[in-house]
Amino acid sequence: MKAHFVWLVASAILVAGCGQAAGNSQALPTVVLETSGGAQPQATGAPGDLSASSVVASGEVVPAQQAQLAFAVAGQIDQVMVGVGDEVEAGQVLARLSGGEALQAAVSEADLNVLKAQQALDDQTSDPSWKMALAQAQSDLAAAKDELRIADYDRTVNQKGYRASTLTIQSAEAKLVLAKEALDDAKSAYDHYADKPSDDPRRAAALAKYSNAQTAYNSALRTVNWYKGHPTELQQSQLDAAVALAQAKVDEAQQRVDKLQAGPDPDQVALLSGQLASAKDQAAAARGQLGELELRAPFVGTVGKVVAQEGEWVSPGQAAMVIADLRHLRVQTTDLSERDVPSVRLGQSASISIDALNATAEATVREISPLADTLGGDVVYQTTLDLVSVPDGLRPGMTVDVQFLGGG
């Protein structure tokens, strides 16, 4: 029975070989060895011994990553910085189109506009003069409230018509005389400088003394009037006007404080924020246009092919070079049959036989394609395996035999 089985296998191989010699391009299905009872045996032999495998497939060595690079825009190649075999880092510039000088200038100008817009916004939101203005407004408000308090007090006590003693009235009148004399002196001193420019310090000092003397005189006059009795109709109007003016000053000072306490002008902040966002968008657009002139490595790898040449005109999407990750190699099967893929599982161990090196390596199943391919009329599923050990001299493209160890 065993001899008959061996004869059948030999006959099948002979017929298949003759079919291929006759020009038949159909791929052979995955080899599956069966016992006389029809059950698939578990692999018990040494790695590389295909007779001990339940499922065997052909494959090839591939890089873990491989990319064909192309420019996104048309242009003339100005510089190619790498050659075949060069190792490159992720993000490294590999080639560049001409025209970068003008775009670099545009990027620099856009970045400068961003800085200016940012500075304008910072000045608006953290200007020290704004804080000083708030402090001054608060001081003006306090002074206005004090002036209102005095004016309102003077009007109130004058309306009550209190009488004072003769001595008190005489003393108040004496103060009024002195205040009048001081007012006349101050006016005479101011008249001496009245024709001077408004920024003349002597004129300013004389005017300040004149104003203070007038205030002191008015106060002394109100005191005398209060001591002597009810104010006249004119005096009452003056008292009312003084209160109204003081109240207006308080209201104005309060509005200014409220506005400053609310922070910088929100409309101005919104305008400057919009200008900053626009400047950033323009800078990003300029930098993006500059980036389109550069071909960069998407990952760490080795340059496998350089198609682009300096001075050559390229179109968008035209292949310029190929890089691959040769530090991490994998194996992909090419003819794993639909009849055998159920026996393969993720994480399953496998033995890889490399005829070109006369060596073997261990591997584990990384991925099983959920979609099928066709090979010579057969339905096959591509399987990817991670190499546990990498023999010296192993290169992408080498053909291998994959022995899946164990059953599905």
Tens digit of pLDDT at every position of the chain (408 positions): 333 333 333 333 333 333 333 333 334 444 443 333 333 334 444 444 444 447 999 999 999 999 999 988 888 888 898 999 899 999 898 998 887 676 677 777 777 877 877 777 666 666 556 667 778 888 888 988 888 888 887 777 666 655 467 788 788 889 999 999 999 999 998 898 888 887 888 888 888 898 899 999 999 998 887 777 666 677 778 878 888 888 988 898 888 888 777 666 666 667 777 877 887 888 787 777 777 878 899 999 999 899 988 889 988 888 999 999 988 899 999 999 999 999 999 999 999 999 999 999 999 999 999 999 998 889 999 999 999 988 999 999 999 999 999 754
CATH homologous superfamily of 25-64+328-404 equals Efflux pump adaptor protein, beta barrel domain (2.40.30.170)
Q: What is the pLDDT of residue 51?
A: 45
Domain boundaries, the chain: 25-64+328-404, 68-97+294-324, 125-267
Q: Does domain 68-97+294-324 have CATH number 3.30.70.20?
A: no
Phi, psi of 31 (to 5 degrees): -75, 130
